[in-house]
Amino acid sequence: MSKERDYYFEQYQDRKMKKWAGFYLSEHTAIIAKEKKKRPPEQKEQMSWEEIDTILAKAYQEQYSVAIQKEELDSEGNYSEDIIGCIQGHDELGIYIADQKVGYDEIRHVQLN
């Protein structure tokens, strides 16, 4: 048995740091995700009403998901998280998305998801 064992260790090639890469990567991505949640959402560019209207019309007609940044700021001066989802309906004052109503005048930025 000793000869077999010696042969195994003569042929074995240690992968050194490669074997730890998966562990490091998963921990690293978990830390990045945690830190990303702490950061407030970035301010996106103010779009013109024509740009907003064009994107909303396309999203509604073709049932695309959109991400909407509202104009409002929280008590610390940060923008809230984007409202993401498909447009469920609309009226003359705003759109219905993600089970809430967003007024047309509240929309700062919209993009297709």
Is residue 66 in a domain?
yes
Whether residue 60 sits in one domain with residue 14: no
pLDDT for 20: 61
Q: Is the pLDDT of residue 103 over 60?
A: yes
pTM of the model: 0.66
Q: Which domain holds residue 86?
A: 49-112
Whether residue 104 sits in one domain with residue 67: yes
Count of domains observed in the chain: 2
Whether residue 108 sits in one domain with residue 53: yes
Whether residue 54 sits in one domain with residue 30: no
Q: What would the pLDDT profile of 23-58 be if each residue is shown by its tens digit?
A: 667 777 888 888 877 778 889 999 999 999 999 999
Say how far apart CA 34 and CA 27 lie, in whole Å: 11
Q: Is the pLDDT of residue 66 over 90?
A: yes
pLDDT for 15: 65
